[in-house]
A and B are shown apart, each in its own frame.
Chain A
Amino acid sequence: QQQVKQSPQSLIVQKGGIPIINCAYENTAFDYFPWYQQFPGKGPALLIAIRPDVSEKKEGRFTISFNKSAKQFSLHIMDSQPGDSATYFCAASSRAGRFGAGTRLTVKP
């Protein structure tokens, strides 16, 4: 069973749009929530991460929103570009991390 539930499975937006990817978890022991970005044929790479003691973290065009009471967090990509087209994974961890199922994002020019 997936310990971290991620949606949607795929997402298509126009250039400049704001795709939002959502994740939910059950295990309250999780205390670190990273997002990874993966391009075809490559391993995932860390994009941005948040701890549960803050509600939002922004790095460049990428923002994580975190709702501890709802056990949900989401990734927003501002002013999306075709180069952002990739698969995005949310994860949660206290020890070894558990990943969501991934969202394949396509940004059309």
Chain B
Amino acid sequence: DGGITQSPKYLFRKEGQNVTLSCEQNLNHDAMYWYRQDPGQGLRLIYYSQIVNDFQKGDIAEGYSVSREKKESFPLTVTSAQKNPTAFYLCASSIDGSWSSGANVLTFGAGSRLTVL
């Protein structure tokens, strides 16, 4: 089955630690995205990547880093510089980087819930 796999589903982190959230897709999609979901704030864009070895900051990139070395993988590192990292993180992918095609549906993973202790 094609889809997006996020791991781990739940993660606990001590303050001052970096953690990396995994996102893998087997949809052969060019574009991948990371969103953060907080109650009452919807989904906020952290980073996105339209092709391998290229990525762009979203609206709340501070304290996060990404890499896109392979088409199918887009890991997100939550660094100790992120002041309020406790949240639900969603990875998504789309056929290409433009939603305007109309066929360019975002497919989401099931999410990773990060809690800072």
Contact = CB atoms under 8 A, between A and B. Distances in A.
B116 interface: no
Interface of B: 4, 31, 33, 35, 40-45, 48, 50, 56, 58-59, 90, 92, 97-100, 102, 104-106, 108-111
A32 B99 contact: yes
Contacts of B58: 96
A102 B111 contact: no
A94 B98 contact: yes
B42 A32 contact: no
Contacts of B108: 43-45
A76 interface: no
Contacts of A61: none
Interface of A: 2-3, 6, 9, 31-32, 34, 36, 41-46, 49, 51, 89, 93-102
Contact of B106 (A3, A46, A95): A46
Nearest to B47: A96
Contacts of B31: 96
Nearest to A43: B108
A41 B97 contact: no
11 contacts: A42-B111, A43-B109, A43-B110, A45-B108, A51-B102, A94-B98, A95-B50, A96-B48, A96-B99, A99-B45, A101-B42
